[in-house]
């Protein structure tokens, strides 16, 4: 028996997620994650999105997650990149946020806000709802800074 005959496909155990960089007037829509220690980035600012369901594509998942989390999905979302690390496989989409925050309904998390590029660079954002400054998830900060650089040179 050759080694090819005994090779098994090992399923990747990392979670696969779809997240969205939603931007408006040079700012980025961010979600302040719950303070639950059992979730990634508890109490941090993050991008909206979530896990793919079994058999679901990332394109479908990002639309579903945005509708669940903010009651809105932009008509045009484009795959920006795929980021693989030890913790997850992330499909990162981007699109223009074409409505005001007052039209969004926060379905998950402590707060949402439009954070500036300066907030992203500093790695922090202020929550009006809980009146606190909270950190931005480090990997997400990198994604946003890379996106901003590609958009503005």
41 is a domain residue: yes
6 is a domain residue: no
1 is a domain residue: no
Tens of each residue's pLDDT in the chain, 153 residues: 433 443 333 467 889 999 999 999 999 999 999 999 998 889 999 999 999 999 999 999 999 999 999 999 999 999 999 999 888 899 999 999 999 999 999 999 999 999 999 999 999 999 999 999 999 998 899 999 999 988 865
What's 92's domain CATH number? 3.90.79.10
The number of folded domains in the chain is 1
Q: Give residue 1's pLDDT.
A: 40
127 is a domain residue: yes
* Domain that includes residue 143, residue range: 14-148
90 is a domain residue: yes
Q: Long-range contact list for 137-144, CB < 8 A, 24+ apart?
A: 137/33, 137/40, 137/41, 137/44, 137/45, 137/46, 139/83, 139/85, 140/19, 140/41, 140/44, 140/45, 140/46, 140/47, 143/21, 143/47, 143/81, 143/83, 143/90, 143/92, 144/21, 144/28, 144/47, 144/120
Q: What is the pTM of this model?
A: 0.88
């Amino acid at each position: 028996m050759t080694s090819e005959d005994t090779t098994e496909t090992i399923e990747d155990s990392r979670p696969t997620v779809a997240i969205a960089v939603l931007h408006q007037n040079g700012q980025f829509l961010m979600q302040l994650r719950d303070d639950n220690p059992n979730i990634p980035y508890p109490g941090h600012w993050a991008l909206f999105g979530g896990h793919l369901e079994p058999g679901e594509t990332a394109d479908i998942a990002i639309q579903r997650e945005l509708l669940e989390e903010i009651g809105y999905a932009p008509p045009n979302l484009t795959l920006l990149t795929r980021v693989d690390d030890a913790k997850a496989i992330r499909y990162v989409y981007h699109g223009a946020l074409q409505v005001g925050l007052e039209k969004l309904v926060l379905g998950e998390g402590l707060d949402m806000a439009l954070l500036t590029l300066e907030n992203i660079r500093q790695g922090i954002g202020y929550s009006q709802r809980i009146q606190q400054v909270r950190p931005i998830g480090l990997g997400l900060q990198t994604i946003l800074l890379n996106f901003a650089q590609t958009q503005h040179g």
